[in-house]
């Protein structure tokens, strides 16, 4: 769509977007986190705002400055983010999981973990966190909010399959209406540029976009707007 046509096409919709990287406390002074900059999620929030949506941005431990006009909910860990999403999901027309959610979490020690005489290392036991996106699609009731559930898949190719093949399998496993795949071996973390391929819930390719994070956000929101129209109709 031309910039003029997409103007205000999300008016009346409430869009919840998660952004940034979660961090998991090891003890009162240490965390396990990831390199997510939060820029893509913030760009989506800004773009949705411009198009007239009411936007709630659930920000996880990110240094990013939230765009003006969005409501901000802060969260730290994967568990925090999961509960923030649970509280908001029934009020959201569309939910976009752009956050890099920690896959594993340690048991948090209440006191600082100390080096111990005679022990040369430290073994951490990590348990899997809740898959928030998967939970969203599983709990969803047809005709109720959220009407569109979207996510991201950052992949690299390996000896078994291409990055795209991994993303297609992920799209099928997550059951999201829209999964934006990017090959992280091409566009590193923190970049202002992104290349996205949009996949449907069966892994089918719906489109692609490349450009600034603002530009690819608009392309993604074109798909979100189409999903909302479809569901309303
Ligand atoms: N995601 C989530 N909850 C998690 C992990 C990921 O909701 N505990 C969401 C992310 O926000 C993203 C999508 O799931 O929208 C895909 O994340 P990704 O890390 O690519 O997939 P995983 O399912 O975690 O698989 P893996 O990291 O093993 O490839
Ligand atoms: Ca993951």
Q: Which of 60, 100, 133 to mutate to test the pocket of ligand 1 (most atoms within 8 A of CB)?
A: 133
pLDDT of 191 reads 82
b/e sequence 87-117, b meaning 16+ C-beta within 10 Å: ebbeebbbbbbbbbbbeebbeeeeeeeeeee
What's the 4 CA to ligand 2 centre distance in angstroms? 36
Atom of ligand 1 nearest to the CA of 154: 20
In this predicted model, what pLDDT tens digit does every residue of 35-86 receive, in sequence order?
A: 999 999 999 999 999 999 999 999 998 688 899 999 999 999 999 999 999 9
Ligand 2 centre to CA of 1 (Å) is 32
Length of the chain: 233
Query: How far is the C-alpha of 220 from the C-alpha of 142, rounded, in Å?
Result: 22
**Which phi and psi angles does 107 have, rounded to 5°?**
-80, 130
- β-pair partners for 148: 94
Ligand 1, CB cutoff 6 Å, lining residues: 78, 97, 99, 101, 103, 129-133, 151-154, 170
Looking at per-residue pLDDT, the higher value among 191 and 58 belongs to 58
* 170 annotated as belonging to a binding site for a ligand: yes
> What are the two backbone dihedrals, phi and then psi, of residue 20, each rounded to the nearest 5 degrees?
90, -175
**Alpha helices, H only, the chain:** 3-6, 39-50, 78-89, 132-139, 163-174, 213-232
Helix or strand or coil: residue 103?
coil
What's 198's DSSP letter? Answer: E
Task: Report, as an integer, the average pLDDT of 30-38.
Answer: 94
Whole-number Å distance, alpha carbon 122 to ligand 2 midpoint, is 24
DSSP state of 184: T
Give the per-residue pLDDT at 6.
Answer: 65
Identify which ligand lies nearest to the alpha carbon of 132: 1
User: 117 Cβ partners below 8 Å, 6+ apart?
Assistant: none
CB 94 within 8 A of CB 54: no
pLDDT at position 3 over 70: no
Query: Is 174 flagged in the annotation as binding?
Result: yes
Predicted confidence (pLDDT) at residue 108 exceeds the cutoff of 60: yes
pLDDT at 233: 44
Which-ligand-closest: CA of 89? 1
Selection from 142, 145, 144, 137 nearest residue 178 by Cα: 137
Output the six-digit token pair for 43: 């760009």
pTM for the structure as a whole: 0.95
Whole-Å CA distances, 15 to 108, 211, 233:
33, 23, 18
């Amino acid at each position: 769509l031309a910039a003029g046509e997409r103007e205000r096409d999300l008016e009346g919709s409430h869009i919840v977007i998660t952004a940034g990287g979660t961090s998991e406390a090891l003890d009162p002074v240490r965390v396990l986190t990831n390199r997510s900059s939060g820029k893509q999620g913030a760009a989506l929030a800004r773009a949705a705002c411009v198009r007239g949506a009411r936007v709630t941005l659930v920000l996880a431990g990110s240094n990013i400055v939230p765009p003006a006009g969005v409501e901000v909910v802060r969260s730290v860990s994967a568990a925090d983010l999961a509960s923030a999403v649970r509280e908001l999901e029934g009020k959201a027309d569309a939910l976009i999981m752009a956050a890099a959610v920690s896959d594993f979490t340690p048991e948090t020690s209440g006191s600082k973990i100390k080096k111990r005489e005679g022990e040369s290392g430290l073994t951490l036991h990590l348990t899997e966190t809740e898959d928030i996106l998967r939970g969203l699609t599983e709990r969803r009731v047809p005709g109720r909010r959220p009407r569109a559930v979207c996510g991201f898949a950052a992949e690299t190719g390996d000896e078994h399959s291409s990055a795209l093949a991994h993303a297609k399998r992920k799209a099928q496993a997550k059951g999201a209406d829209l999964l934006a795949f990017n090959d992280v071996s091409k566009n590193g973390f923190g970049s202002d540029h992104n290349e996205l391929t949009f996949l449907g819930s069966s892994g089918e390719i719906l489109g692609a976009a490349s450009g600034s994070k603002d530009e690819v956000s608009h392309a993604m929101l074109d798909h979100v707007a189409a999903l909302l129209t479809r569901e309303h109709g």
